[in-house]
Structure 1
Amino acid sequence: MDLKPIMDAQALNRFLETDFPQTHTDGKVFDVTMVSPGMVVMQLVPNERHLRPGGTVSGPTLFALADVAAYCVVLAHIGPVALAVTTNLNINFLRKPKPGPLSCTCRLLKLGKRLAVIDASIFDEDGGNLVAHATATYSIPPR
């Protein structure tokens, strides 16, 4: 599968800010840091509302990181299609993340005309511990 991105990190971050400003309601927490063929890396710097008792980042926050990063890897390769939507996302929580920055590496497993399948791995801030793993499927609207 030969995948060449058509949006870079700056374009994806700008798209999120203009088309999905609600992702930054309490300040900017999602940031695309890298785009390469078939891949996107997104960082999440959690604020107080993303934490839960026990000194960890909440499960819904990890889910959101996987979903937004998966959306970005699809858009990086098809362009700014706001109506591409999640049709499935399955996540496994593997380790308790520290209450600090997380990164999510998303890889396109399949990019078809109507569906995209993505593998997402979420790591803690030092990049050493895989804290969650997800697979997602996105529906791509007809052009």
Structure 2
Amino acid sequence: MSNLSPAEIQAIMRRGVPLAAEWEIEVLAAEAGTALVRLPAKPLLLRPGNTVSGPALMGLADVAMWAALLSTTEGRDDSVTSTMTVNFLRPAGSGPVLAEARLVKQGRRQVFGEILIRAEGSAELATHVTTTWTVIAPAR
């Protein structure tokens, strides 16, 4: 397990994925293979209908999963997303969005995870995501 704070994981995440910094994604909590991240409201991320766009929600899910993974690895990671299944259940609205990520199984070669996305302040699930990450082996 990692002893990194959410702020330290956020800094690693923003360096590794500059889009996370541009979108100002915040890591609110990250420990023991779980993470809670927040995407603030930004007009740039809205689609017609005044709701957060699908690409923004998918990006948020991917970054949330990485935060959960970083919470188990002391901030070091050699994994890449290999699959992502996204189910859009309802519009997330135009305000801030929260993503809760958890590692379902962390193996030597693959990591399986789940992300639940809701509008901030809502109990209703907007998006359900499952993902698989592949651990890249060091070069020999």
TM-score, length of structure 1 as denominator length:
0.87
Counterpart amino acid of 1:105?
E
Deviation digits for residues 27-57 of structure 1 (CA, Å, limit 9, x no counterpart): x421110123221111111311100111111
Q: 1:24-43 to 2 correspondence within 5 Å? A: 24-25=21-22, 28-43=23-38
Counterpart amino acid of 1:75?
L
Taking the aligned partners of 2:30 and 2:17, their CA distance within structure 1 comes to 19
Taking the aligned partners of 1:131 and 1:33, their CA distance within structure 2 comes to 19
Instruction: Please say if 1:10 is aligned against 2:4.
Output: no
Question: Gapped runs of 5+ residues in structure 1?
Answer: none
Post-superposition shift, 1:6? 4.0
> Paired residue for 2:93?
98
Determine what percentage of the aligned residue pairs are the same residue: 28
Post-superposition shift, 1:128? 1.1
> Paired residue for 2:63?
68
* C-alpha contact 1:29 1:47 (8 A) present in aligned 2: no
SS class of match (2:75)? coil
Taking the aligned partners of 1:101 and 1:32, their CA distance within structure 2 comes to 13
> Paired residue for 1:48?
43
> Paired residue for 1:124?
119
Taking the aligned partners of 2:115 and 2:15, their CA distance within structure 1 comes to 24
Instruction: Please say if 1:115 is aligned against 2:110.
Output: yes
Taking the aligned partners of 2:3 and 2:110, their CA distance within structure 1 comes to 18
SS class of match (2:71)? helix
TM-score, length of structure 2 as denominator length:
0.89
* C-alpha contact 1:106 1:118 (8 A) present in aligned 2: yes
Counterpart amino acid of 1:104?
A
Question: Gapped runs of 5+ residues in structure 2?
Answer: none
The number of residues matched between the two structures is 138
Taking the aligned partners of 1:50 and 1:122, their CA distance within structure 2 comes to 15
